Amino acid sequence: VQITFAQICYLIAALIIIVMCSVSLCCWCYRRKAAREQQEAYRRNMGAYQPVPAAAPGQPAMVPVAQRDANGKVTYVMVPAVAQQQQSSTDPSTSR
């Protein structure tokens, strides 16, 4: 059985195509997995959010403020909106 130069070239081309396809498939799977994990993390963090309840008459309105714990999970803490406005007005970085 005699192997010609053309057959060797076809074999090399086929191997290159197979390698390229497998690499692109691995990259595609990795990207899908990363996107799925990012979406799940977003859903978990959104689960920590509760809608803002209406303020009672005479009470300051409460607004949610995001906080991260040591594990990176986001929780929302209700803070009076008046106190938050006072904080931002005394912040030297915002005043000119």
Task: Determine the average pLDDT of the residues in 42-49.
Answer: 71
How many separate domains does the chain show? Answer: 1
Torsion sign (Cα): 39, 66, 59, 88: negative
> Please, are residues 96 and 75 in contact by the beta-carbon 8 Å criterion?
no
pLDDT for res 35: 93
Residue 84: what residue type?
A: Q
Residue range(s) defining the domain that contains residue 23: 5-90
Residue 21 has pLDDT above 70, yes or no: yes
Residue 71, in any domain of the structure: yes
User: Predicted confidence band at 2 (pLDDT cuts at 50, 70, 90)?
Assistant: confident
pLDDT for res 84: 45
Task: Determine the average pLDDT of the residues in 39-68.
Answer: 73
Residue 63, in any domain of the structure: yes
pLDDT for res 53: 62
